[in-house]
Amino acid sequence: MAGSALASPLSIIRNTAQKQWAETQVLTLSGVARVFNTKRQLLQLLGDFPRAWSLLLEFIENSALSKNNEVSLAALKSFQEILYLQKGCDNNEITHSADSEALWIVAWRVWLNIGTESTTPPQENETEPYVPSQAFLTALVHIFPAVFQHIRKKFTGTDLDKLCVVLKNVVAVPVHGESTPYILPTVPDVVLTHLQDGVLHSMELLQKEALNGPENLRTMIVLIFLQLLSFSKLACEAPTYGRIPTKHISQIRGVSADWVIMNYVPFGEKALSMVVNLYQKTAHEMAVIDGQVLKHIIEALHVPLSMKYACPSSTTWKLAVTSLLAVLHTGLPLARKYPEHFQSMWPELASTLDDFLFPKSVINVERGAEEIQADEAVDCQVMELLRDEVLPHSQYIPHQFILRVVMLLNKGSIHSATTVNIESSGEAKLREEFAKTCFETLLQFSLLDGLNNELEPDSNKTLENDEGGVAGRLAVTALLHRFQEVLRRFIENERRSGKCPLPRYRLSEISFVLKAVATLVISLKKAPPNKVDRSVWEQLIGLYPCLVECTIASASGQVTRSLREALLQYHDLLKPPLNNTPTSTGV
């Protein structure tokens, strides 16, 4: 009992002493920085100014790495103060002429040491891990522009690497639940925190410097892209900070004792927008082409595009697909011009498109008709990009990618009309417009225009593009098989349902297939004879009995109109037998 009775006063004394010492350090830091700043010109006349500068910065560095939040924050405020003149001098602008580059290099090294040491995630075996406060980190990031302005001419690729590590760790630091009410913006879903805003401002400064000359561009631009892309991924998956257990900000109500992960959606989306703007400005630069930046962008976009409806915010995948279309409009002509630099990009693009157009994520929220239509319109835009920017230039694009595109078109033509997403309401939705776009594009390039137009007489290229043509013809054969399955299943289901009408999506499905049959017959009749195998004609004619059966089965006006359109196209296929030699009786 005696021991426990003594423990409380001793701890109070110790805490009071620590607090007093911390207050002393804070006052000392503030006083020294103020004196140093006001007497700077006098100190410079003494001849030992560089040593005084280095000693002061060393003192600031040691204090900034203190585990006491008050002391560390006061150290950064002092750091910031000595980077500026007094308010009465030169409008509080950062000094330029009086201080040599060597002094600012020292300041940069100190900033980097503070940033590296203070933001390194704690080790697993630490019993009381130190986590810097948001106020400290925000002050640290806001100091960087003041230092960078003086060292930018000496800023190397190695410096940029180290800076990116610090910025990456800074944004990953969680916030203590007790602080969240004070540091959160009023609308956390759409607004950046001060820290996140400061980090992106630093990236903007680096961008401007990278665009300032060819040497800077060569050493900095790819690293800047990679860092921004790393930030963009945080919109889909928040970072971890060592082994510290955390909760998302949406799970916290009021003051909490937990460590909290901030909302990274606005931050990641802003970083992605910066990537797109920067790529559109620099895509033609050889440093960007050599650095395979387009491939890296597609890899980063693959994350939200494959998640699609599973993204934390629907705005993320919508921004991602808009960004994909924008960078491809810029990058695809360059990929055709410099094929050797983009070889690894094509497989990644094919996988990304496949995962986006045919997502595995389930739609778990009810969507209105307008939203469904808007999402389908986006899918159509992606296919139209392939139709306009890829297939007409197939001779300049790896044939494996062309085959993947044909497979996507085939998949879209078949599965969009038969495989549907069941939404929370239980209503099945049909991507009819998307299926139509895929189907028409497939016909256009597999039968009419072909994938081997305007080829130079090169045997290897001819062989490769013949494979594309074969793929197109195989896709048409697969479509015909699938159409026959759908027609037969429809006839069977109509017979079994009796007087009960089939669901709307089934009627839309059969209506689409009938329209597709009509379009296919028209296309086959227009195609050059050497592009249509006899087996395709035989398959098409084999559908005729199924179409006749549909006339009996269907009572839907929508289906009947599509059926009439399909049957009328068979007129030209109805011919007398070839061996029509008359007998002696004239019959």
Q: Each residue of 59-92: pLDDT tens digit?
A: 889 888 888 888 888 889 888 888 874 444 443 3
pLDDT of residue 88: 43
pLDDT of residue 70: 86
Q: Please compute the mean of the pLDDT values over residues 259-282 and round it to a whole number.
A: 92
Q: Which two tokens stand for residue 46?
A: 């003494």
pLDDT of residue 302: 96
pLDDT of residue 480: 80
**Which residues partner with 429 through β-bridges?**
421
pLDDT of residue 423: 46
Residue 95's pLDDT band, with cuts at 50, 70 and 90, is very low
User: Lowest-confidence range among 79-88, 94-103, 407-416?
Assistant: 94-103
User: Lowest-confidence range among 38-42, 414-418, 431-435?
Assistant: 414-418
Q: Is 350 helix (H, G, I), strand (E, B) or coil?
A: helix
Distance of CA 570 to the CA centre of its chain: 47
**SS (HEC) of 264-281:** CHHHHHHHHHHHHHHHHH
**What burial class does residue 73 get, using C-beta atoms within 10 Å of its C-beta: 0-12 exposed, 13-18 middle, 19+ buried?**
buried
User: Would you list the DSSP string of 230-290?
Assistant: HHHGGGTS----TT--EEEGGG--SS-SSEEEPP-HHHHHHHHHHHHHHHHHHTTSHHHHH
Q: Please compute the mean of the pLDDT values over residues 87-109 and round it to a whole number.
A: 62
Residue type, 11: S
Query: Max alpha carbon distance in the chain (Å)?
Result: 133
Count the residues in the chain: 587
Q: Looking at the predicted structure, is the pLDDT value of residue 584 above 60?
A: no
pLDDT of residue 36: 77
> Can you tell me the distance from the alpha carbon of 11 to that of 324, in angstroms, rounded to the nearest whole number?
60
Q: Are 275 and 343 in contact (CB under 8 A)?
A: no
Q: Is 407 or 168 the better-scoring residue by pLDDT? A: 168
pLDDT of residue 378: 94
**Which residues partner with 421 through β-bridges?**
429
Share the mean pLDDT of the chain. Answer: 79
Q: Are 84 and 77 in contact (CB under 8 A)?
A: no
pLDDT of residue 347: 96
Q: Please compute the mean of the pLDDT values over residues 499-517 and round it to a whole number.
A: 78
Q: Looking at the predicted structure, is the pLDDT value of residue 577 above 80?
A: no
Indicate the pairing of strand 259-261 with strand 175-176: antiparallel
Show me where the domains of the chain are located. 19-84, 130-281, 284-394, 398-421+438-451+469-573
Residue 443's pLDDT band, with cuts at 50, 70 and 90, is confident
Q: Each residue of 122-139: pLDDT tens digit?
A: 877 777 778 898 899 999
Q: Is 488 or 142 the better-scoring residue by pLDDT? A: 142
Q: Looking at the predicted structure, is the pLDDT value of residue 334 above 90?
A: yes
Q: Which of 456, 345, 341, 323 is nearest to 390 (CA)?
A: 345
Residue 581's pLDDT band, with cuts at 50, 70 and 90, is low
Residue 297's pLDDT band, with cuts at 50, 70 and 90, is very high
Q: Please compute the mean of the pLDDT values over residues 314-328 and round it to a whole number.
A: 96
pLDDT of residue 475: 66
Long-range contacts of 102-109 (CB under 8 A, 24+ apart): 102/50, 103/49, 103/50, 103/53, 104/147, 104/150, 104/151, 105/151, 105/154, 106/50, 106/53, 106/54, 106/57, 107/57, 107/83, 107/147, 107/150, 107/151, 108/147, 108/148, 108/151, 108/159
In Å, what is the CA distance from 368 to each residue of 46, 229, 363, 373, 425? 75, 32, 12, 9, 11
What is the Cβ-side half-sphere exposure of residue 180, based on CA atoms within 13 angstroms?
A: 24
Q: Each residue of 412-423: pLDDT tens digit?
A: 876 654 444 444
What is the Cβ-side half-sphere exposure of residue 132, based on CA atoms within 13 angstroms?
A: 30
What is the Cβ-side half-sphere exposure of residue 495, based on CA atoms within 13 angstroms?
A: 10
Q: Each residue of 464-491: pLDDT tens digit?
A: 444 445 555 666 777 787 788 888 888 8
Q: Looking at the predicted structure, is the pLDDT value of residue 176 above 50?
A: yes
**DSSP code, position 94:** B
Residue 176's H or E segment, with its range, is strand 175-176
Residue 198's pLDDT band, with cuts at 50, 70 and 90, is very high
pLDDT of residue 421: 47
pLDDT of residue 178: 59
Q: Each residue of 453-463: pLDDT tens digit?
A: 433 344 444 44
Q: Looking at the predicted structure, is the pLDDT value of residue 500 above 70?
A: yes
User: Lowest-confidence range among 11-15, 239-243, 312-316, 407-411?
Assistant: 11-15
Q: Each residue of 530-567: pLDDT tens digit?
A: 777 788 888 888 888 888 888 776 667 778 888 888 88
pLDDT of residue 18: 67
pLDDT of residue 233: 95
Q: Looking at the predicted structure, is the pLDDT value of residue 442 above 90?
A: no
Q: Please compute the mean of the pLDDT values over residues 160-178 and round it to a whole number.
A: 89
Residue 411's pLDDT band, with cuts at 50, 70 and 90, is confident
Q: Looking at the predicted structure, is the pLDDT value of residue 8 above 50?
A: no
Q: Looking at the predicted structure, is the pLDDT value of residue 235 above 80?
A: yes
Please tell me the chain's helix, strand, coil percentages from 3-state DSSP, rounded to the nearest 5: 70, 0, 25
> What is the value of pTM for the model shown?
0.80
Q: Looking at the predicted structure, is the pLDDT value of residue 451 above 50?
A: no
Residue type, 157: G
> Can you tell me the distance from the alpha carbon of 13 to that of 43, in angstroms, rounded to the nearest whole number?
41
Q: Is 54 or 348 the better-scoring residue by pLDDT? A: 348
Residue 249's pLDDT band, with cuts at 50, 70 and 90, is low
User: What whole-number percentage of the chain has pLDDT above 90?
Assistant: 30
Q: Please compute the mean of the pLDDT values over residues 324-348 and round it to a whole number.
A: 95
pLDDT of residue 379: 93
Q: Is 395 or 230 the better-scoring residue by pLDDT? A: 230
pLDDT of residue 232: 96
Q: Is 53 or 47 the better-scoring residue by pLDDT? A: 53
pLDDT of residue 267: 95
